[in-house]
Amino acid sequence: MSTDTQSTQAYPVDALVRAHSAHKQSRSWSFRWLVPTLYVLFLIIPIYWLVNLSFKTTNEILSGLSLWPAEPTLRNYMVIFTDPSWYETYFNSMIYVVMNTVICIAVALPAAYAFSRYRFLGDKHLFFWLLTNRMAPPAVFILPFFQLYSAFGLIDTHIAVAIAHCLFNVPLAIWILEGFMSGVPKEIDETAYIDGYSFPRFFGKIFMPLIASGVGVTAFFCFMFSWVELLIARTLTTTDAKPIAAAMTRTSSATGFDYGVLAAAGVLTIIPGALVIWFVRNHIAKGFALGRV
């Protein structure tokens, strides 16, 4: 009997406590969604606006602000997909960006391995001074690049832009990869040699899977730098290797300003970067956690 009484007495107290905590929880929840929502809006609005513009006609764009296209059109995209002077620039950008990424990784892998595994005279100084190229703005290098590349007949070639971007990307790639490689115990290398592995076989079969995240992160940074860099790419190219970033600086045509096409080009420019991030997202997450980035 007394137990029953206790339980009936206890119930309202429990209920009150639950109600109180639920009330407190709901109050705190009201603040929880606000900040992330504002943050996401802040990030999304410019991209949404670009997409919004890309589906509008130039007349509608110039007539005023509207949250969505009144008369949605695919004309802007059609212009880009059918006009070689637009779509070829995409291919040009893709070609030199991929070339640059491959060269950077290929060059940085052995260099980073050497920095992480061997001690040699001035290694720490050299490692630090690798970054000096990144301390100056790219514009500083335009003149020497232009003269050198002109002398070697490399102007307006994909390889010219790819190599020029290596000046900035290779040191960064070495730094990132060195961090990942130093995270792999040297004893793993030695164990592989004791097991009989040759260096190339060890590097390919044992070591590369261990630094895959680092390679992913490095490729991402090389890709993004090369993809968005405008100044050098525009200076070293005229028509055959002209990149999309340079093509997008054409704001006016014979018919006037074509903002719709420009917006569509902008949207298409974001896509490769977004795809790269999508594919290497796990590696990047792991990479940022483990590497010296």
- Taking CB under 8 A as the criterion, the residue among 98, 114, 159, 206 binding another protein is 206
- Taking CB under 8 A as the criterion, the residue among 6, 25, 198, 239 binding another protein is 198
Any contact of residue 185 with another protein (CB under 8 A)?
A: yes
Between the CA of residue 128 and those of 175, 211, 290, what are the distances in Å? 9, 22, 21
- Taking CB under 8 A as the criterion, the residue among 201, 239, 240, 292 binding another protein is 201
Across-strand partners of 252? 257
- Taking CB under 8 A as the criterion, the residue among 190, 279, 285, 292 binding another protein is 190
Alpha-carbon gap, residue 140 to 10, rounded angstroms:
77
Contact 59, 271 (CB under 8 A): no
Q: Which of residues 60-89 bind another protein (CB under 8 A)?
A: none
Any contact of residue 203 with another protein (CB under 8 A)?
A: no
Which listed range, 75-83, 169-177, 196-204, 264-272, lies at the site for another protein (CB under 8 A)?
Answer: 196-204
Alpha-carbon 36 to chain mean position: 22
259-290 and 34-54 are packed helices; what angle lies between their axes, rounded to 10 degrees? 140
Distant-in-sequence, close-in-space partners of 37: CB < 8 Å, separation ≥ 6: none
Distant-in-sequence, close-in-space partners of 98: CB < 8 Å, separation ≥ 6: none
**Burial level of 128, CB count in 10 A (0-12/13-18/19+)?**
exposed
- Taking CB under 8 A as the criterion, the residue among 140, 188, 275, 285 binding another protein is 188
Q: Give the number of residues in contact with another protein, rule: CB under 8 A.
A: 16
Which listed range, 33-41, 43-51, 189-197, 234-242, lies at the site for another protein (CB under 8 A)?
Answer: 189-197
Give the per-residue contact string, 115-154, with another protein (x = CB under 8 A; - = no). Answer: ----------------------------------------
SS3 per residue for 107-146: HHHHHHHHHHHCCCCCHHHHHHHCCHHHHCCHHHHHHHHH
Any contact of residue 289 with another protein (CB under 8 A)?
A: no
Any contact of residue 209 with another protein (CB under 8 A)?
A: yes
Q: Which is nearer to another protein, 198 or 253 (CB)?
A: 198
Alpha-carbon gap, residue 163 to 148, rounded angstroms:
12
- Taking CB under 8 A as the criterion, the residue among 69, 197, 272, 293 binding another protein is 197
Q: Which residues bind another protein (CB under 8 A)?
A: 185, 187-188, 190-198, 201, 206, 209-210
